[in-house]
Amino acid sequence: MAYLTDRKRAQGTGSGRQGTMHHWQMLVSSILLVVLVPLFVLTFGIGLGGTYEETLAYFSRPFPAIVTALCLIVGILHFKREAEEAIEDYMHGVAERLTFIAVGALAYTLIAVALFALIKIAL
Amino acid sequence: MADVNRGNRPLSPHLQIYRPQMTSMSSIMVRITGIACLVLSVIVVAWLLAASTSEAAFDAWNGLLRSWFGKLVMFGATWAVFYHMLGRLRHVIWDFGYALDVETSEKMGMGMFIGATVLAVVAVLVV
Task: Kindly list the domain boundaries of chain B, sorted by start residue.
Answer: 24-126
Structure ipTM: 0.88
pLDDT digit string (tens) for A28-82? 999 999 999 999 999 999 998 889 999 999 999 999 999 999 999 999 999 999 9
Cβ burial of B101 (10 Å; 0-12, 13-18, 19+) is: exposed
Contact A80 B38 (CB under 8 A): yes
Residues of B in contact with A86 (CB under 8 A): 31, 35
Q: What is the pLDDT of residue B85?
A: 96
- Minimal Cα–Cα distance from B54 to chain A, Å? 9
Decide if pLDDT at B13 tops 70.
no
Decide if pLDDT at B2 tops 60.
no
Contact A50, A58 (CB under 8 A): yes
Contact B59 A37 (CB under 8 A): no
User: Mutation test of the interface with chain B: which of A3, A34, A82, choosing the one with the most B Cβ atoms within 10 A?
Assistant: A82
Nearest to A46 by CA among A93, A38, B34: A38
The whole-number average pLDDT for the span B84-98 is 94
> Is the domain defined by B24-126 classed in CATH 3.40.50.261?
no
Residues of A in contact with B91 (CB under 8 A): 26-27, 30
pTM of the model: 0.88
Residue A42 CA to residue B95 CA, distance in Å, equals: 29
Q: Which domains does chain A have, with CATH numbers?
A: 19-122 (1.20.1300)
Residues of chain A with pLDDT > 70: what percent? Answer: 99
- Nearest C-alpha in B relative to A119: B52
pLDDT digit string (tens) for B108-127? 999 999 999 999 999 988 88
Decide if pLDDT at B95 tops 60.
yes
Q: What is the pLDDT of residue B37?
A: 96
- Name every residue whose Cβ is closer than 8 Å to that of residue A109 and which is 6 or more positions away in sequence: none
Residues of B in contact with A44 (CB under 8 A): 44
Q: What is the pLDDT of residue B17?
A: 72
Residues of B in contact with A84 (CB under 8 A): none
pLDDT digit string (tens) for B31-72? 999 999 999 999 999 999 999 999 999 999 999 999 999 999
Q: What is the pLDDT of residue B110?
A: 92
